[in-house]
Chains A and B, each alone.
Chain A
Amino acid sequence: MTATTQRAASRTKAKERARFEPRIVAFCCNWCSYAGADLAGTSRMQMPPNIRIIRVNCTGRIDPSFILDALYEGADGVLVSGCHPGDCHYTSGNLRMRSRYVLLKRLLEQAGIEPERVHLQWASAAEGDVFAQGVTDMVERIRRLGPNPVRRRR
């Protein structure tokens, strides 16, 4: 590559980055975070439109293969949002999720996939603001990483 073509290539890359709108799948538990997301909406809080929410009864219901499948199908990031520890409607589903999350991050890291593409947060039904901030942070995090390589290829 000559210096000129190199510069041109890096300019296109930078442009692609600027244009890049992350697509993020968010798994929200019915009892806390989904209600929190609802509250954020009805209170007209600002948050980026990059997430597609999937409601589950409990974060404990989220099999790690759902998250891997979402990445494999081209999601740029996966956000899991559940009740605070101690507040789970089913006692401890969120703690199970936390253990799975810790192990999943280890696997992603060892495999050479940015572990930040998957994120776990807690947001209660009253915390519309926490939910909205979590989404904003997630979108920023993924914007920095760039598109999921699977998606870039398609």
Chain B
Amino acid sequence: MTKRAAFAQLSSCWGCDQSLVDLHLKLLDVLPELEIVYWPAVVDYKLKDLENLPDRSIHFGFVEGSCRTREDEHLLRTMRAKSKVLVAWGSCSCYGGVQGLANQWTLKELLERKFLKAETITDGRIPDENVPGFKEDIRPNPDVVPFDVLLPGCPPTSDNTAEALSALLAGQPFDLPEKTVCDQCPKVREEKHIKVVHRTHEGKVDPERCLLDQGYLCLGFATIGMCGAQCPSVNTPCKGCFGPPPGIKDHGAKIISALGAIAEMSPEELKEAFPDPLGSFYFTDYAASYLSRLVGHTKEEEQ
């Protein structure tokens, strides 16, 4: 019997869908077992097509993106109502995504920056007609509705999504691994003594040695290992896009904890070393951090 699947897109970059489509011919392994009832990223479905389905009639509902608009939240709640198993698909969905970094500012500041003060804009105005309206801040989707499966990654690799789909089809659990990107990384590691932090474009990378040992901020040690260490394998530091392994409550706290243990730098040098610590330590999961939650409370208080 085929299983009914739906793929919904909230505010996002479409990368998770792209990664699924990148399976190419391997898609044929799973497609015959799926009846796709909603996938507007690829086929012309409308919201009412989803709304008209009976509750809990979708076996697997995949949600990409996070709630920046009220319409996103409506779509998310609709997906929850219609789906038996709801999958947070990608880091946007699991943690809020890159757009979660916007939680550093109020909605008013963001709207003014984007619609009135952007360098390319003359005669700007903030759109307020025929648009669904923005949410005050970004929250991880699991704070809004309960999820059954988390599949992080920005995006999850094609294989990650294929594996999750296969597990769901086989009725097996899909659990996140405890291992880190470092556990998957081929680089040679030494005892760590970080004396200077390089920006990614500075210096010359030794392709054999661990990037962190060479002073590049590679976050593999604090990041869940699901991608096969694809960035360090091509000499690019891990930005932590899959978020932390399960059990780690706060990605940035984990990162500064580890940096504190290996950095042999004065307090002044450390301060200088990270011009944008939130952006560097919470690339896709600031909205899920203690800090963002604390600030969220402050904003509500002010209103």
Contact = CB atoms under 8 A, between A and B. Distances in A.
Contact of A98 (B267, B277, B281): B267
Nearest to B106: A112
Contacts of A112: 104, 295, 298
B31 interface: no
Given A63-B253, A64-B256, A96 B277 contact: no
A69 B260 contact: no
Interface stretch (B60-68, B82-90, B172-180, B285-293): B285-293
A153 B297 contact: yes
Question: How many of chain B's residues touch chain A, expressed as a range?
Answer: 20 to 34
A103 B294 contact: no
B294 A113 contact: yes
B256 to A, nearest CB: 4
A110 B259 CA distance: 18
A69 B249 contact: yes
Interface in A96-154: 96-100, 102-104, 106-108, 110-113, 149-150, 152-153
Contacts, number: 89
A13 to B, nearest CB: 13
A65 interface: yes
Given A69-B249, A99-B260, A149 B294 contact: yes
B278 interface: yes
B184 to A, nearest CB: 24
Contacts of B259: 99-100, 103
A54 to B, nearest CB: 17
Nearest to A110: B278
Contacts of A111: 104, 278, 291-292, 294-295
Interface string A47-82: 000000000000000011100110110000000000
B183 to A, nearest CB: 21
Determine chain A's interface SS by DSSP, over half rule.
Answer: helix
Contacts of A103: 256, 259-260, 270, 274, 277
Interface of A: 63-65, 68-69, 71-72, 96-100, 102-104, 106-108, 110-113, 149-150, 152-153
10 contacts: A64-B260, A71-B294, A98-B267, A99-B263, A99-B267, A104-B256, A111-B295, A112-B295, A112-B298, A153-B301
Contact of B301 (A63, A64, A71, A152): A152
B249 A65 contact: yes
Nearest to A111: B291
A106 B280 CA distance: 12
Contacts of B253: 63-65, 68, 104
B143 to A, nearest CB: 14
B288 to A, nearest CB: 12
Which 7 pairs across A and B sit closest by C-beta, in order of nearness? Answer: A100-B260, A68-B290, A65-B253, A99-B260, A111-B291, A149-B298, A103-B256
